[in-house]
Structure 1
Amino acid sequence: MTQRYCSLPQQPAPSFAPGLAAERSSALVAGRRMWVNGTVLHYCFFDADTDGSVIHVPGSGETRWVSWAGAKEQRDVVRECFRQWQDLGIGVTFAEVTDHREAELRIGFQYGDGSWSQVGRDALVVGLNERTMNLGWDLTRPGQRATALHEIGHALGMQHEHQSPLAGIHWDDEAVYADLAGPPNFWNRDRTFFNILRKLDASEVNGSVWDPQSIMAYPFEAGLVLEPEQYRGGLHSPGTLSPADKEFVLRWYPPADPPSVADRFDRGDPHRALVPFRSVPLSLGPGGQADFTVDPPETRDYAVGTFGDGDSVVVAFEERDGEPRYLAGQDDGGTPHNAVLRVRLVKGRRYFVRVRLYSTWGTGETAVMCW
């Protein structure tokens, strides 16, 4: 084997309350890692002399300290790949920053640690001095640009396509374990199972059908896939964004065109002002999102929360230098209570509140209010 593979950080499976309706739990599994649309994802590259960590050298039992910094040529490949995703017209945008404390996505180039990324909003639970993505081999070599496109797909919330239960792949399990145990991956059985053999929940997959051309699919050499028969000789993805990749990401992050001022206060327009102590109904279907502006009349601590029988994620942003910066967020999915943010808002500054609905039950009536 010569193929290097992305190795995702293992995260615990989501735990929801017993007796949760199947439709509700499926909506939570599908959307729990996705960003609210309109988010600006700031990314940075670790480049200080002290940025690095100790790794285990495969096959030797030794350890050594390895830098996280990458050469300009490596960083330029990643910048180009961010632009390629951005050029699809998605509603999430990317902005490079130099201070890792300002970045949701923090990127290292540590050789020996493989390539991986946190999936979507999982990046928010990683310490500010730690990486959320690593690119562990030379991206300037032929075909390796696909690695950066793949990891950015994970950062947007996408999963491995070859793990889709819709693929119908029947593996030669022991052949897969043996191949991944050797160079250049040196994976143990747990890592191989988690990243290749494990089937995703049907709600987690990137589309309604299997897409072997996806940037999120691994290429596999002959002898690893038993069924479908046509892939016994190998499965080879082209390393580019497929039409289904583009459809999926645009479905979750449609272009976020700003509304006109005349429409902003229309009850039927999701982009409108959120005024303290005035409840606003959320006329949303599953997966829908409403966006609000908040111009605080005074400087103080505020609460922003939802009401009603619904699972939602609520995120507040502060406008800085003409773009929204993440301030606070809360996800009440699968719980009996509603999301409530407590944030300090300053008079004269503008804020944004974005509410994405997973699902509703009971009366289905939901609302948001600032107080």
Structure 2
Amino acid sequence: MTRRLCSLPRQPAPSFAAGLTAERLGALLAGRRMWVNGTVLHYCFLDAGSDASVIPVPGTGEPRRVPWAGSEAQREVVRECFREWRGLGIGVRFAEVGDRDEAELRIGFQTGAGSWSAVGREALSVGRGERTMNLGWDVTAAGERGTVLHQIGHALGMVHEHQSPFAGLHWDDEAVYAELAGPPNFWSRQTTYTNVLRTLEAGEASGSVWDPQSVMALPFGPGLVLEPERYRAGLAPSGTPSPADKEFGLRWYPSAGCDRPAALVPFRSVPLGLGPAEQADFTVEPSETREYTVGTFGEADTVLVVFEERDGEPRFLAGHDDGGCPDNAVVGVRLVKGRRYVVRVRLYSTWGSGETAIMCW
């Protein structure tokens, strides 16, 4: 029996400047969706008031209003799955909020709209009135907990494991198209290509070795994979984060250490000394209230994010990703005397001298 599968919406291909080295391009592909470590991802559940979509009824085409709200039992499954990911020891935390304007992740339960999520930082480009994640069927049903864990994996920046270039899967393309065009998925050819048949770039994959037990792999029945022969009977991932998933999560989001971040003092540059995918954290406690500029220096691709600490929790203020550009990451932000701020910088790659620094002024 064919299961209902994750249906990520098609996204435009990333655009980078011409002439980038393979190493630099690979680093950009690998990290462009990932959050800076130490981020608190706030999530909210969309309510039953005005949150709904008007969709055609299958077979008749008549419009009907389908709400985005889910039951409390479904919400509790999602909360448990956030706790399970956090329990792996990753350096990203999750916090439920009631105000969608405070949430990076906005979760709906629209029946019939498929299950999907924005991948990592793609959520930041989704309008505040829109979902960044949808769970399109009852996730309290037996065997459906994996659907939620899978979508949270996407929210953390992970992609479909069965599309890894290291999987070596040779699909029977037309059989896959035919299978997923029928119930319960009713996918178009484009949706099937986007979520199954398209092979990812090496830099996009979660690792250099394919993991068929990853929670980011989808289950498939027999007759869809031609080679390797051992998968002709189908793919049956466990539906929970595998050891390789945990390794990936801790590589990008290592557990926070006990060391207090270094202070970033206005008009005093600090060398970064980072390697690819490494991160440096700083605190800023301004002596006066005014507009400040925080920026990086050097021939490097970086992500720079400024947070304000509120009740001991970092809340996003401003950020800039200069990946693939000749300019450096720079943000302008108003800092208030008496408050504490956290600046996080993650490196994609360097070129030239490789010397990088950060300064606040």
Task: Output the TM-score relative to the length of structure 2.
Answer: 0.98
Separation in 1, partners of 2:74, 2:196 = 27
The residue type paired with residue 276 of structure 1 is P
- Cα deviation for residue 240 of structure 1 reads 1.2
The equivalent residue for 2:332 is 342
The residue type paired with residue 57 of structure 2 is V
The equivalent residue for 1:275 is 265
Separation in 2, partners of 1:333, 1:310 = 8
The residue type paired with residue 98 of structure 2 is T
Separation in 1, partners of 2:56, 2:23 = 43
SS of 1:344 mapped into structure 2: strand
The equivalent residue for 1:173 is 173
The residue type paired with residue 64 of structure 2 is R
SS of 1:287 mapped into structure 2: coil
Separation in 1, partners of 2:60, 2:117 = 26
Q: Kindly, what percent of the aligned residue pairs are identical? A: 74
Q: Superposition pairs for residues 1-371 of structure 1, below 5 Å?
A: 1-259=1-259, 264=260, 271-371=261-361
The residue type paired with residue 201 of structure 1 is E
Is the contact made by 2:9 and 2:191 (CA closer than 8 Å) also made in structure 1?
no
State which drifts further: 225-234 or 30-39.
225-234
The residue type paired with residue 305 of structure 1 is G
Separation in 2, partners of 1:156, 1:58 = 33
The equivalent residue for 1:268 is none
The residue type paired with residue 336 of structure 1 is P
SS of 1:123 mapped into structure 2: helix
SS of 1:148 mapped into structure 2: helix
Separation in 1, partners of 2:316, 2:56 = 35
What is the total number of aligned residue pairs between the two structures? 361
Task: Output the TM-score relative to the length of structure 1.
Answer: 0.96
Is the contact made by 1:221 and 1:234 (CA closer than 8 Å) also made in structure 2?
yes
CA distances 1:94-129 after superposition (whole Å, capped 9, x unpaired): 000000100000000000100000000000000111
CA distances 1:292-348 after superposition (whole Å, capped 9, x unpaired): 000011111111000110000000000012100011110000001001101111100
- Cα deviation for residue 6 of structure 1 reads 0.5
SS of 2:230 mapped into structure 1: helix
Separation in 2, partners of 1:216, 1:114 = 16
Give 4+ residue runs of structure 1 displaced > 3 Å after superposition. 56-60
SS of 1:251 mapped into structure 2: helix
Is the contact made by 2:221 and 2:235 (CA closer than 8 Å) also made in structure 1?
yes
The residue type paired with residue 178 of structure 2 is A
- Cα deviation for residue 63 of structure 1 reads 2.6
Is the contact made by 1:58 and 1:186 (CA closer than 8 Å) also made in structure 2?
no
Is the contact made by 1:57 and 1:112 (CA closer than 8 Å) also made in structure 2?
no
CA distances 1:58-82 after superposition (whole Å, capped 9, x unpaired): 4443332110000000000000000
Separation in 2, partners of 1:326, 1:190 = 35
Which residues of structure 2 form unaligned runs of 5+? none
- Cα deviation for residue 211 of structure 1 reads 0.5
Separation in 1, partners of 2:341, 2:83 = 27
Which residues of structure 1 form unaligned runs of 5+? 265-270
State which drifts further: 61-70 or 222-231.
61-70
SS of 1:124 mapped into structure 2: helix
SS of 1:354 mapped into structure 2: strand
Separation in 2, partners of 1:213, 1:290 = 33
Separation in 2, partners of 1:99, 1:28 = 33
Is the contact made by 2:2 and 2:221 (CA closer than 8 Å) also made in structure 1?
no
The residue type paired with residue 331 of structure 1 is D
Separation in 2, partners of 1:129, 1:67 = 14
Separation in 2, partners of 1:58, 1:180 = 16
Separation in 2, partners of 1:119, 1:193 = 17
Separation in 2, partners of 1:65, 1:6 = 22
Separation in 1, partners of 2:355, 2:277 = 15
- Cα deviation for residue 188 of structure 1 reads 0.6
Is the contact made by 1:55 and 1:112 (CA closer than 8 Å) also made in structure 2?
no
Is the contact made by 1:278 and 1:369 (CA closer than 8 Å) also made in structure 2?
yes
The residue type paired with residue 338 of structure 2 is G
